[in-house]
Amino acid sequence: MKIISWNVNGIRACVNKGFLDYLQSEEPDILCLQESKAQIEQLSDHILNPSGYFGIWHSAQKKGYSGVATLIKKNLKPLNVVEGLGIEKYDSEGRVLQTEFENFVLFNVYFPNGQMNEKRLQYKLDFYQELFTLVNDLKSQGKNIIICGDYNIAHTEIDLAHPKANENYSGFLPIERAWLDKIIKWGYVDTFRHFHKEPENYTWWSYRAGARRKNVGWRIDYFFVNKEFLLHVKATAIQQDVLGSDHCPVKLEFLTP
């Protein structure tokens, strides 16, 4: 199976930049989108349910903000779909879609950004706690877990171009990075780093100062899986050459248990 995760920074804008062509050429089994920035009524059916796929959309209440969507090939039928965490202050922003299949549970997540102020940073940290309380409970039941999306945290110095210059900014704060340490301690694996140890692999670039052309970026989009599932994972990739957003897609390929 092949799952791709992509923060599209506005699905309508991304469609105008070749999104549907990318989907048809790549043909993932599942495509997880973050920051869709659209209500269902604002989208035509060829975006909501692209050819060969059906879409599950969880939008924010606020128009033009946040939102996640999971596009699934029509031959795959999830056993269960859950929108959100059951907590209004997070669910109103459209941040989580959970789809359960026979051999794994997939979380498509747009983690909050904490740059606005201290209150928003705490919102972000609380969101991590609530999400992983749920995820850990499912893992304790023996389920395989895949958590993909925009985590809005660069884990270590290798994961951004200028670590020293950003150590006091949200996205690279010690208190945030400690959350990724905690996730790993709980038995989840950063699949990209498992296969790729080399630097200069980023998934997001500022639109300013030609950052993408210069590859001055951050790796903040991840696939984490429980370590028991890792033996089924065959490959991961960051598709830096795919344009259409300030993020690029990340890919996970695995054999179903």
Four-residue CA torsion sign, 170, 173, 175, 177? positive
Instruction: Return the structure tokens found at 125.
Output: 């940290």
Do the Cβ atoms of 35 and 67 come closer than 8 Å? yes
Helix (H, G, I), strand (E, B) or coil at 217: strand
Instruction: Give me the phi and psi of 236, to 5 degrees please.
Output: -135, 155
Q: Which of 21, 137, 150, 159 is catalytic?
A: 150
The side-by-side arrangement of strands in the sheet containing 233-238 is 53-58, 68-73, 30-34, 2-7, 250-254, 233-238
Instruction: Return the structure tokens found at 119.
Output: 């209150």
Residue 160: CA atoms inside 13 Å, Cβ hemisphere, count?
24
Kindly state the helix (H) or strand (E) to which residue 67 belongs, with its residue range.
Answer: none
Instruction: Return the structure tokens found at 239.
Output: 């598709």
Strands (E), 50-205: 53-58, 68-73, 80-83, 96-100, 105-110, 145-150, 188-190, 204-205
Whether 159 is catalytic is no
Instruction: Return the structure tokens found at 28.
Output: 């993932």
Q: Which residues are catalytic?
A: 150
